[in-house]
């Protein structure tokens, strides 16, 4: 039975999956819009939502938590806390959207664009 099983494995073991998601998080914060497979975009959405809620706090503890989640990348954390988070000061959740794009030419994988609202 599949009761209460959340998250997707994305065909990877835990370390590879977390490295993939951290890389996608970094790319999304730097570029504010990325194109990836639909499954990866759906797996990324709850992570970025939680990180945005943390970034909106603006405290030192929030900054340290983000640094721990993003490979201690100061450029990414600064952009998230000083540029992106202030935009969503009044918004309570729903910071990103996933838009289905079509199918990839090489393997017909469903692709999607994930971007900040």
Number of neighbours of residue 74 by Cβ within 10 angstroms? 10
pLDDT exceeding 70 applies to what percent of the chain?
A: 100
Query: Where do the domains of the chain lie, and which CATH numbers do they carry?
Result: 32-116 (3.90.1030.10)
This prediction has a pTM of: 0.92
> pLDDT tens digits for 18-62?
999 999 999 999 999 999 999 999 999 999 999 999 999 999 999
pLDDT in tens, 79-102: 999 999 999 999 999 999 999 999
Rounded distance, CA 84 to CA 116, Å? 9
Between CA 81 and CA 102 the distance in angstroms is 32
pLDDT of residue 5: 86
In degrees, to the nearest 5, what angle opens at C-alpha 34 toward C-alphas 14 and 38?
A: 60
Stretch 62-85: mean pLDDT, rounded? 95
Cα separation, 91 vs 61, whole angstroms:
21
């Amino acid at each position: 039975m599949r009761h209460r099983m959340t998250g997707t494995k994305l065909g990877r073991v835990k370390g590879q999956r977390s490295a993939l998601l951290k890389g996608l998080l970094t790319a999304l914060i730097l570029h504010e819009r990325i194109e990836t497979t639909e499954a990866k975009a759906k797996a990324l959405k709850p992570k970025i939502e939680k990180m945005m809620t943390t970034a909106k706090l603006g405290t030192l503890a929030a900054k340290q938590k983000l640094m721990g989640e993003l490979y201690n990348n100061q450029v990414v954390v600064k952009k998230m806390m000083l540029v992106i988070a202030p935009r969503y000061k009044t918004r309570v959740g729903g910071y990103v959207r996933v838009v289905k794009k079509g199918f990839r030419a090489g393997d017909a994988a469903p692709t999607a664009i994930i971007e900040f609202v």
